[in-house]
Structure 1
Amino acid sequence: MKTRMVMNELKGILHFICSVQFWRMAVLWTLSVLTSYWQLFVQRLFSQKACCFTRQLPPTTGRTRPVCVITGATSGLGAAAAYALSKEGFSVVLAGRSSQLLSKTMIGIMSRNKDAHVKAFQVDLSSFQSILKFRDSLQQWLLDSNMHVSIQLLINNAGILATSPRLSSEGYDQMMSTNYVGAFFLSKLLLPLLRNSPVPSRIVNVTSFTHRNVFGAQIDNETVTGKYFLRCKDYPFAHVYEFSKLVCLLLFSYELRRQLGLMDNFRHVSVNAADPGVVKTNIMREVPSSISHVAFIVLKLFGLLQLPENGIDSILDAALAPPETSGVYFFGGKGRTLNSSAQSNNSRLAEELWTISCHLYEENKLACKDFSN
């Protein structure tokens, strides 16, 4: 019995290693992170003025703490960023799928920071109804706590790397829903709370260097919902990850910044993107453990692997940059920034993505209203 299990495991590992998606991750993802660090090196060597931003805490009004919402806050980068921002005086709202892990994160933060002000909400970012419920619960909590009904910071950090296809409650690809569509829906639903802020507020979208591997991206309803990828014979999970969490999220960041600039009431809301680099988190949990273990060893030998406590530097830089800083891609810590890929700066693609995403938002909003009635 044990021998059969070992053989099946070895077959699974061999099948994974022989897949195109594995080599896409192993080769292209490594090259893309090296490209980002090379750009930092060239920038430091030849640029007269390296573009770096110093961190600034948002001003407080009276005794009210600034409020920060962090998705994917049950572990890894989300949990580390939550702790760091609690130390900076934020009231931190943890949003995650597992109530058990949320409680564990809360206890961990409060044991290390006795002055921490933390609240947790269970939310599934692949479900519009769950996001809507979270928005309502958050507003009610702010009212019940006699706090200003606003938030100052939203960090869209949640993301998954699913190696097999699965459906969300709306019938979308779950990885597309969690990594991009859910972040779009949440940002749209929380914009009124960001607008209500008496001080400048901000959205930070956590992206990645792997966006550099996507060329000739096609933006339509089928790709944004992930239905196109679900029909593929072999689920292209590495490509879907790049496209969802990365290209779409970056295009969205830049287009949202442009859209907010056109509206008088939203001009004090800024949007930045943060790329943490290679961080040792549990996002690789669906990859065979022996392969992810070897990958982490190799990355550590090259000096590319960071622990979450270090990987959050670019997220904190993006979150705490001066209020007028918007539409900027942070990478490498120390307030440093880079230019993202040409594809992510394609304004035509960004407008197409915005139109399709808004249509999906209205579609789901109407469906939830019909369901309630």
Structure 2
Amino acid sequence: MTETIMAITGPTSGIGRGTVKNLIHDFDRILLLARNLEKAAYLKQELLELNPEVQIEIIECDLSVLDSVRQAAENIKYKYDHLDCLINNAGIVSTSKEESVDGYDLMMATNYIGHFLLTHELLPLVMNSERKQVVVVSSGAYKFAPMKKPFFKPKRFNAFAGYGRSKLGTLYLAQELHEKYSRKGLKTTAVHPGMVSTNIGKSNVSPTVAGLVFKLLDPFFVTVEEGCQSVVKAVRQPEKYAGFYSDEGEIAAVKQYGSDFQMRREFIDATLEELDLEAL
């Protein structure tokens, strides 16, 4: 019997942590793609206490750094020939202008670009599995603003628009995967789990600015357990949620900017060009 393998980004806190703990008995092996190796080590011990039979591997991966993503993917491809389920979960909110080491807006780099590259690199392994599943953690914040050029290096910073566009990007990624690979058996789901308020990265800005940002984001806040359950449902019911947008566990229609096919095509093409890739 083939070993079942799941990989997840951002597993050490918030929704990611809750998701892994809930799925600890669902797979034979779990790959923790984490930036903070110390936190990942603590999580590994917790998971092994919950299920001593599961195999846990820590893969260093900083989604905001392209070289780190490439190295993580290479490590996985070197060791494994298939990957049953990839969960693109890691994400940040920044209340001040920050750039990644590659020169991109930090939220766009972490939430979208890194995951796009990781998915591209690992997709052959996913397609080589029996399950063939990708779960993309998006957000209802995709409604905050339409996608706008320059896509990856905006001239002006706006916390709401920047976060919304990064999550709109993840929604576009899920839609693109479904469109291109569903006929080959890939089951892709975009999930809005809500955001865990205690796990949102607050930057070094004034309390007034940070307070305003998080007050406006408050409608999206959920508990860790509430948030992770929508991801868990998507993982456990791939056929039911394949090709759909899950809004806190309920299949929902994509609205506004998420339905802009022309912009999606332009944005995905720009991503491929930026990463020097021919296709997703």
TM-score of the two chains, using structure 1 as the length reference: 0.67
Contact 2:6–2:27 (8 Å) recurs in 1: no
Q: Displacement of 1:83 after TM fit? A: 1.5
Question: Relative to structure 1, is the Cα distance of residues 72 and 288 closer, same or farther in structure 2, using a 3 angstrom cutoff?
Answer: farther
The one-letter amino acid of 2:97's match is P
Once the two structures are superposed, residues 198-217 of structure 1 have per-residue CA deviations (whole angstroms, 9 ceiling, x without a partner) of: x13111110111222224x3
Aligned residue type for 2:229: D
2:3 is matched with 65
> Which of the pair has more CA radius of gyration?
1
Which is helix-richer, 1 or 2?
1
- Which one of 121, 146, 153 corresponds to residue 59 of structure 2? 121
Which residue is equivalent to 2:78?
140
1:192 matched to 2:192? The reply is: no
Structure 1 segment 107-256 matched on structure 2, within 5 A: 107-142=45-80, 149-197=81-129, 199-215=130-146, 217-218=147-148, 220=149, 222-223=150-151, 225=152, 227-228=153-154, 231-232=155-156, 235-244=157-166, 246-256=167-177
RMSD over equivalenced CA pairs, Å: 2.6
Supply the distance in 2 between the matched residues of 1:289 and 1:181 (Cα, whole angstroms): 29
What stretches of structure 1 of length at least 5 have no aligned partner? Answer: 1-61, 143-148, 365-373
Aligned to 2:187: 270
Displacement, 1:178? Answer: 0.4
Contact persistence 1:67–1:91 (CA under 8 A): yes
Q: Note the C-alpha offset of 1:324.
A: 7.0
Identify which of 237, 248, 251 aligns with 1:332: 248
Measure the CA separation in 2 of the matches of 1:129 and 1:308: 30
Gaps of 5+ in 2: none
Mark the CA change 1:305 to 1:362 in structure 2 (over 3 Å): closer, same or farther. closer
Q: CA deviation at 1:248?
A: 1.1
Contact 2:85 2:131 in 1 (8 A): no
Measured after TM superposition, the shift of residue 320 of structure 1 is 2.2
Q: What amino acid sits opposite 2:134 in the alignment?
A: I
CA distance in 2, matches of 1:90, 1:256: 25
Q: Which residue of 2 aligns with 1:32?
A: none
Alignment of 1:245-324 (within 5 A): 246-261=167-182, 267-286=184-203, 306-323=222-239
Contact preservation (8 Å) 1:69, 1:92: yes
TM-score between the two structures when normalised by the length of structure 2: 0.88
- Name the amino acid aligned to 1:316: V
Q: Distance in 2 between matches of 1:285 and 1:343?
A: 26
Distance 1:139 1:284 in 2: 31
